[in-house]
Structure 1
Amino acid sequence: MKILVAEDDFASRNFLQFLLKKYGEVDIAVNGIEVLEAFRAALESKEPYDIIFMDIMMPEKDGLEAAKEVREMEREFHVAAANEVSIIMATALSDVKTVFKAFNKSEATDYIVKPLTVDTVHAKLIEMGLLNDK
């Protein structure tokens, strides 16, 4: 599995990288612009990402806008719906309005509320069918 972690907070980024590396290759981005650069490079090399864990609030380009542009890029590259990357938005904001905005504006696949734990991340991956329940 190829995973992109997009998180501007050093501790959260390191936690996710450490946790997710047992599931596959993990790349890092610290803002939305880096997400788009990494995502385009992966598509061009025909080694697309399977999952993006993306913080909503990031500098330079927020996660909502970056996720929307990821979907636009997938359409540009004619990625079939069944092969689209799973985008899991991570947010410290648990209010319904923010979550609703994330899905409508960005076409995110799912979300997870911070603080992230080993159990919540693992459970989310199982719930989304990205991991077996083991």
Structure 2
Amino acid sequence: MKFLVVEDDFVSRSFLQLFLNKIGEVDVAVNGAEALDVYKAALEKNEPFQYVFMDIMMPEKNGLDAAREIREIERDFKVLPSEEAVIVMVTALSDVKTVFEAFSKSEATDYIVKPLTAEVLTAKLKELGILD
């Protein structure tokens, strides 16, 4: 199982990386622009990410735009819809407009509201079928 963590906040990035590293391989990016490079490189090596945990508010390229562009990259690489990465937006924003944008404009799969805790992340991983 391969995860990409995209988070500009060091504490949140480290937490996700350490937690997910118990389950599978984890790569990190510190902003949306870097995430696109990392994601595309993984597809080019035929080593795609199954899961992307991405912050919304980041410098250079926000998570909503990066998620939308990840879907475009997948289409360019002819990734079947059933094999697309699960993109989980991770953010301090919890208003309805942001949630709507995350799902409609970015084609994100799911959403977690910060602060991140082991309980919240465990529950989301169970909901996604990653953990039993």
Give the TM-score band, short-chain normalised: over 0.9
**How far apart are the structure 1 equivalents of 2:50 and 2:103?**
18
Match of 2:42, SS state, is: helix
**How far apart are the structure 2 equivalents of 1:60 and 1:74?**
21
Which residue number in structure 1 is paired with residue 11 of structure 2? 11
Deviations 1:28-85 (A, max 9, x none): 1000011000000000000000100000001000000000000000000000111000
Which residue number in structure 2 is paired with residue 41 of structure 1? 41
Structure 2 length as normaliser, TM-score? 0.98
Which residue number in structure 1 is paired with residue 83 of structure 2? 83
- How big is the alpha-carbon RMSD for the aligned residues of Structure 1 and Structure 2? 0.7
**How far apart are the structure 2 equivalents of 1:9 and 1:65?**
18
Distance apart, 1:130 and its partner CA: 2.4
Q: What residue ranges of structure 2 are gaps of 5+ in the alignment?
A: none
- AA aligned opposite 2:7: E
Alignment of 1:64-75 (within 5 A): 64-75=64-75
- AA aligned opposite 2:9: D
Structure 1 length as normaliser, TM-score? 0.96
Q: What residue ranges of structure 1 are gaps of 5+ in the alignment?
A: none
- AA aligned opposite 1:115: P
Percent sequence identity over matched residues?
65
Deviations 1:103-131 (A, max 9, x none): 11100000000001111111111111222
**How far apart are the structure 1 equivalents of 2:130 and 2:48?**
15
**How far apart are the structure 2 equivalents of 1:82 and 1:125?**
18
Runs of 4+ in structure 1 displaced over 6 angstroms? none
Match of 2:72, SS state, is: helix
